[in-house]
Amino acid sequence: MMTDKICLFTDLPMSRCPHCRGDDDLVYIVDETPDYEVVARFETQFKGTCIINHDHAFRRGDIVAKVQLADNPMIPVSEVVCKNCLKTLPRAKK
């Protein structure tokens, strides 16, 4: 008995997957923003953009936060979160 491979995009068998068969009638909503937790808040020494919302920019001297992934804190996150997005994130458990 031969098993059908699973599509990584829809998690359906490739023989029944509209994504793999080329049916473009369906719209898929994919949430690509991972869940973050705040590790530390500090005053930044550089200017840049927020990891969550790239429209949010911060300047030198603004308060930003170092974050970690909520589901796997062992994966390092090098970017920081701006003070506006910081208000919506939970604090990491120690």
Q: Is 35 helix (H, G, I), strand (E, B) or coil?
A: coil
- Please state the φ and ψ torsions of residue 20, each to the nearest 5 degrees: -75, -30
CB 39, CB 79: distance < 8 Å:
no
pTM (2 d.p.): 0.61
How far apart are the C-alpha atoms of 46 and 31, rounded to whole Å?
Answer: 29
CA 15 → CA 4, 20, 61, distances in Å? 7, 8, 55
Q: Token pair of 38, please?
A: 């705040």
Reported as a single tens digit per residue, the pLDDT across 5-47 is 888 777 778 887 777 777 655 555 555 667 899 999 999 999 9
Reported as a single tens digit per residue, the pLDDT across 66-85 is 999 988 899 999 999 999 99
